[in-house]
Each structure stands twice: as C-alpha cells, then as structure tokens.
Chains A and B, each alone.
Chain A
Amino acid sequence: MEHTSLLERILRGVALTLVVIFFMFPIVWIFMMSFQTNETILRIPPQLIFEPTLANYTALITGKLMTAAGTLDIAFMRNLWNSVFLSVTSVAVSLLLGVPAAYAFARHKFRGSEDIAFTLLSFKFAPALLVLLPLTLYFQKLGLANTYIGLIWVYQLICLPLILWIVRGYFEDIPADIEYAYRIGGHSWFATFRKIALPLAGPGIAAAGLLAFIFAWNNFVFALVLASADKQPVTVGALAFITSSGIQYGQISAAIVLSITPTLALALYAQRYLVEGLSLGAVKG
C-alpha cells in the first residue's frame, strides 16, 4: 500500500477542491441563474438565496419570450432539435466513411497513403473563417446553403479527421497476426474487418464518435454563416436572447443548461472510454 502522510492528504484534498470549484463554478452559477428572473440576476451584490422560477424554461419550451418590449417568438426547441439532428447525422456519416478509411490507412500502406491521411488531418488546421467565405459562395451556387445536407457536409471537416486519426491508431494496435489467423481460417477480408477489427477497436470507435459528437455540437461559426434560423443549432440560436430590450440572462442560462445536458450526460456515461480512447489513440497515432 502507498503510504501518505496526513498533511499530504489534506493538501491534496484542498487542491482538488480548489480545482473542482474553479471548473464547476460557472456551470453551477449558470444552473442557478436559469431559475432566476433578470432582475434577481442583475442584483448587486449577487445573492445566493432567491425564489426559484421556472419561467425561463417555460418560455423556451413554449417559444414565447416575454420582454419589456413585448412578446418575441423564439425557436429554441427547434434549435435544440437541429443540434441533435446535425450532430448525430454528421457523426454517423463520419463513422461510416472514417472507420473503413482508418482501417485502410492502418492496414494497407499504399503509395501516398500517408499523404492522404495527413491532408485529411490538415482540414483541422485551417481556420474555419478562412474556408467559410469561398464555401458560402460555392454553397449558394450549388443550392446547398441553408440545407441540412450542406451543413452535415461541412461538419465532416470537424468530425472526419478526428475519427480517422483516433480510430486508425486503434486499428494499428491490433496485432496483424490476429487478423491473419482469421483469414487463414477461411474468412474474407471483409468478414475479418467486421468480426475481428471492428469489435477490437470498438472502445476507440466509441471514444472517437463521442468526441466528434461534442465537437460538432459545440460548433458555432459554420452554422452561423451557412444556415438561417430554421436550420441553426442551439449555439447560434442562443443569439436570439440578445434582444432590443436587453440581454435575457435567465433564458440564456436555461438554454445553456438544456443544451449542455445531452453532451454532459454522454460524456459522463462514456468518460472511461473517452480517456482510454484518447490516450491510446494519441500515443500510437
């Protein structure tokens, strides 16, 4: 057993508490704000004790935002649905394309394979704004502007390289002999991919998919430029709370709480895979 002195344990506890407070405070504060009205939020000094209200959530769900200047229609639930739809579909498409590609890059060294793999990764280097202007023009010409298909396509820039590189590392970790053994046993390469490579790389694929989902969910700038209100995800939709009669802090907080809940739940559920997947894939990558 590891021996630690009492002092060491106390110090460690204090340090951990500080770190947790530092990172958790904004989330806790937003959570509290989401149950307050604008008046109580903007009180000076801020107070921890308040009378909770569900008005913010009601406004978001019904889509009617009451402001001093009158009632505004907001499409928050629509935005939330857009986020779910765009992220899930983008990750699904990325997995469908990226996992077989990662397998090919891991197992078959063909002429230029490294260059192609690196080019795909380099999509992540380019600043989004650099790509956006030409992309907007092209999309308008092609009729892809303000369509789900267009957005999902652009989201591949975020998801595909991530999945490709993490999953590739996982495939490379599987000893080639295991796959050889299955083929010599009389199975086709495709059966080997399905029955051996996929199950063994499973945790890595799950981690990569989850990470790609979070990146897609958090994306702001692509959807801001390429989609209008009815196709926008929550990240962009939250702008609607900056109204002519002031910023609706209560509703923004409620919107944030609702929009981080799915990713937070997913991340908590798959925390173990995520850490494993990233450390393993990255070292090998």
Chain B
Amino acid sequence: MASLELRKIVKRYKSQTVLDNLSLTVADGETLVLFGPSGAGKTVLLRLVAGVIDPDEGKILIGGDDMTDVDAEFRGVGMAFQNFALFPHMSTFDNIATPLEAKRSSPGAIKAGVDSVAKLLKIAHVLSHKPRALSNGQKQRTALARALVGSPPLLLLDDPLRNVDAKLRFEMRLELPRLLADRGATVVYVTQDYKEAMALGDRIAVMSQGVIRQLGTPEQIYREPANIEIARLFGDPTINLLDVKPARDARGIYVGLSNVQVHLAEASETAIGRDCIIGLRPEALHFVGENEPGAIPVTVEAETPLNEKIVTLVRTVRGREILVSRPAGTLGRNEGKAHIAVDGKSALLFDHASGERIGARNVVKLRNGEAA
C-alpha cells in the first residue's frame, strides 16, 4: 500500500501563488479529506499528486518513493474527476477498462475486473452504453469505477459527488466510506461539503488560499476550530457569533450575554479583557425556565422544523439574532418570550482582530506547512 507525503510544495501560476509551502502526510490506508472553498488550491494539489501538473518547488513522495519528476502514468494512482472526465467515444465498459489495458492485462482479466467493479457500483447494466446515454449518477459511478478498477494503492477523488443530485449524494455518502475501507487504499478526497468531509474523513485538512489552516479529525475540527472561518464552515445551522469581552470573577472567566454572566469552563486566561467573539453552536443552546441560573431572556422570531431537528431563530434583548437547535420531539418554545441557557463548556472564544481561536489546546495547527 502507499502513504503520501508532500514536502514544502509551492505552485504558482504567473504571479499568483496557488499553493504556498504546503506540507502534508497521509498515512497508509488513511482517508484524508481536503476541505475548503473553491480557489483554495485543493484541486491543484490533487493534480500535483496525480502528476498531471508539476510543482514549482517541493517534493511528492508516494509510498516513500520520490515521485516529483515521475510521469503520471507511472505513479500508479487512481483518480476520479469532479466533471467525471469520461471518454465520450468509448462505451462504459471501455472507459472502466482503460487502466487495466494500460497494465496489459489479458482480455479475460479485463472483463473480470470491470464486471466486478461495475457490480459493486451498480452499473453492470449500462456497460454497453456510451457516456452521453448515462444519467449523472451513472456517470459518476463510472468515473469512480474507472478510478477503482486497477486497485491503485493511492486514490484521489476530486469532489466526485459535486455534480450529482442530492438524493444520490446522500446515498453515496453512506456507501463510499465502506467502499473505500474495503479497498484498503490511501484516499485523498476533495470536497466543499462539510457533511461529506465529516462523514468520509479519518482526518480533515481545511484549506484556504493555498495553505492548510487546520488539520485534524472531524471531531477536532468541529469542537476546536482553529479560527472563525473554519467554525463557520462546519456545522448546519451555522455557529452563532457574538461580540464579547471576557472578564474574571470568583467563579472563573465569564462573558456577559444580555446582562447575564455566562461562565466559560475552559476559557484561556489570555482572553480576559480582550475584544473577543464567542462562538456558540446552535445545539449548545437550549430552552430553559425563567428561573434557571444563567437564563437569558429572548424573543422567538421563527421556527424551522427540519427532519431530525428543529431550528429556532430567537432575538436577544439587545436585538442580536441567535439560532437554537434541538432534536425533534423535544420541548421548546415556538413563539413569544422564552429563556435560553448556554452550555459554557462548548463555547468557543476567538480573537476579534485575528479571528484565531483563543487558547486553542490540543489542536494541530499548521501554518505555512510546518506542524506547530
């Protein structure tokens, strides 16, 4: 099998730096998700690994071997493209068979290989069709089958679910982890969908502007985002962000929310007296009775029942809007005056000026490619 190691990769297009001194290691058999907004350099990174474009600086190691100057056809990786990139003049069978043909497999072996992967991906019935006769879902599965068929030790998946409909995306999100785990391959998976990232990744690398901003398990990224930007990208409904100035009293560090003191269990001393932004996940807020300690008075503005949860928009006495999420079937308020309480343990504090999380403990932070 194959691990992947990128050392200080730099890629520039004209004067623009797309990847800036980026280092990354993916362990053998691990699924790493590259997550970030478009233009972050995810796709460029994947293509560098595949060998279809060359880095300006840095080294690419696959399975410990330096592959920086090795042509794409000798790297032995599999790749699925966002736009599928099927060969329009070949049948689905021939499309999937191309990596096996390159290995000069016998016709029998090619047929067996294609049939088994087609069966796995449920496209066995369309093998004789040309790509234009396929639905988007079938195209996507064909592209995936073509990437998988040669059993490459390193699999690169460039947002393969981007162009398929919501239902199929949901199905594939459930199917893919098992599929990838069965193969035992090392996987680099690019996506812009945080749910996909959380569902598929052993680890997630959050990229923006050619730099990895945070690298960690889905749990770490969600619980301990390195900055406001990342906190905002993960989570639906999005995190509530409010301006605060933490202070200290006998019971510890607290922030004032609508004149109510909310104590933060794990806040850092360095936050005291600074202009901060507090991040409150909607599910870290809950409705409470008026007399509970820490109850903040709010007015309910609107309630949106989703399938598994109910999201309520409330307004504080200072006029700030906050989203509260609770599992469906639990009690809450859907109109008028109400009170909410904050789970002080899960509150996140960010520096107002830089957006960095304050007291980011246990977080693997990467800046300019060097692990801190």
If A184-B78, A186-B150 touch, whether A177 touches B85 (CB-CB below 8 Å) is: yes
Complex CA–CA separation, A162 to B128 (angstroms): 37
Task: Judge whether A184 and B79 touch: CB under 8 Å.
Answer: yes
Q: In B79-100, which residues have CB < 8 Å from any A CB?
A: 79, 81, 83, 85-89, 98-99
Interface: A180 (CB within 8 A): yes
- What is the distance, in angstroms, from A190's C-beta to the closest C-beta of chain B? 11
Closest to B97 in A: A185
Contact for B79 among A181, A187, A191, A199, CB less than 8 A: A181
Interface: A127 (CB within 8 A): no
From B31-39, B44-52, B232-240, B311-319, give the one contacting chain A.
B44-52
Q: Which residues of A contact B98 (CB under 8 A)?
A: 182, 185, 187
Interface: B167 (CB within 8 A): no
Task: Judge whether B99 and A177 touch: CB under 8 Å.
Answer: no
How many A residues have CB within 8 A of the partner chain?
17
Closest to B79 in A: A184
Interface: A175 (CB within 8 A): yes
Complex CA–CA separation, A196 to B86 (angstroms): 11
Q: Which residues of B contact A196 (CB under 8 A)?
A: 87
Closest to A176 in B: B52
How many B residues have CB within 8 A of the partner chain?
27
**Which of A183, A186, A191, A200 is the most central at the interface, judged by chain B CB atoms within 10 Å of its CB?**
A186
Interface: B103 (CB within 8 A): yes
Task: Judge whether B99 and A186 touch: CB under 8 Å.
Answer: yes
Interface: A19 (CB within 8 A): no
Interface: B77 (CB within 8 A): yes
Complex CA–CA separation, A200 to B86 (angstroms): 12
Task: Judge whether A200 and B88 touch: CB under 8 Å.
Answer: yes
If A180-B85, A196-B87 touch, whether A187 touches B73 (CB-CB below 8 Å) is: yes
Q: In B38-62, which residues have CB < 8 Å from any A CB?
A: 47, 50-52
Complex CA–CA separation, A165 to B72 (angstroms): 29
- What is the distance, in angstroms, from B114's C-beta to the closest C-beta of chain A? 13
Task: Judge whether B72 and A183 touch: CB under 8 Å.
Answer: yes
Task: Judge whether B150 and A185 touch: CB under 8 Å.
Answer: yes
Task: Judge whether A180 and B102 touch: CB under 8 Å.
Answer: no
Q: Which residues of A contact B73 (CB under 8 A)?
A: 183-188
Interface: B357 (CB within 8 A): no
Q: Scoring B residues 289 to 314 as 1 if CB is less than 8 Å from chain A, else 0, what string do you get?
A: 00000000000000000000000000
Sample of 25 A–B contacts (CB below 8 Å): A175-B83, A177-B83, A178-B85, A178-B88, A180-B72, A180-B85, A181-B87, A183-B71, A184-B52, A184-B72, A184-B75, A184-B77, A184-B78, A185-B98, A185-B99, A185-B146, A186-B74, A186-B99, A187-B73, A187-B98, A187-B101, A187-B102, A188-B71, A199-B89, A200-B89
Q: Give 6 closest A-B pairs by Cβ, nearest first.
A: A186-B102, A177-B85, A185-B99, A181-B85, A180-B52, A183-B72
